[in-house]
Amino acid sequence: MITEQSIQSPTRDRVETHVNALRPVLDVLQTEAPLIGRWGETLAERLLRGQRLLAAGNGGSAAEAQHLTAELVGRFDGERRPFSAISLHAETSAVTAIANDYGYDEVFARQVSGHARHGDILLLLSTSGASRNLLLAAEAASACGATTWALTGEGPNPLSSLVDEALCLPGPSANVQEAQLVAIHAICRVFDAAVAAAAERGRS
């Protein structure tokens, strides 16, 4: 006989298994607090100087990248001016045109070559760290003089070895992506604090 309890028990087990798998990933993320803080401060310094953030990823990582750019162009915690941040995968006409003419491996690299300038920051997100379109984008950014960062799964991996700095998190892909969102929000929190501090210095 199927009872409500017999249905709920395996469902609850699956939820608890998922949440328990996230905890060790967050523990690793916490040890990377100095890197995350430095990224937030550097991002504020660069964007306040008029430089920009470019971001890209595939699938769920694309959603994470777009989350970050939305926070910067919009706002995170409090009111402040907008900053230049572009999610390359969200440029649908450019993505489809480049993919059609040059192949999907080039969809980000060609945009980076067009948009990136010296001192800009390119942030690439990937749970595998092996997506060729992201590897080519990192190479294109370096050629432009842009700074390259990556949020990836377990390292070292091809992408983490190619960028200037990487935050590598071991664990199941879904949990890595969840932890990456925590990292993105932490970057935003540091970013907003640095922007506010700069504004206060300007008033004094």
Contacts of 42 (CB under 8 A, 6+ apart): 121, 147
Predicted pLDDT of residue 7: 57
Q: Which pLDDT value is given to residue 82? A: 98
Location of structure tokens 């489809």 = 96
What pLDDT does 184 receive? 98
64: containing domain: 24-199
pTM metric for this prediction: 0.93
- The total of structural domains in the chain comes to 1
Query: What's the confidence (pLDDT) of residue 203?
Result: 85
Q: What is the CATH number of the domain that holds 152?
A: 3.40.50.10490
Q: Say whether the peptide bond before residue 172 is cis (omega within 30 degrees of 0).
A: no
- pLDDT of the residue at 204: 77
**Mean pLDDT per 10-residue interval, the chain, length 204 residues:** 64 93 96 98 98 97 97 95 97 98 98 98 98 98 98 98 98 96 98 96 85
Residues 115, 131: Cα–Cα separation, whole Å = 21
The answer to the question of residue 10 being in a domain is no
Please tell me the distance from the alpha carbon of residue 145 to that of residue 29, in angstroms, as a whole number.
28
Is 4 a domain residue? no
Domain membership of residue 79 (yes or no) is yes
pLDDT of residue 103: 98
Task: Determine, yes or no, domain membership for 125.
Answer: yes
Tokens of 30: 């916490």
For residue 178, the SS3 value is: helix
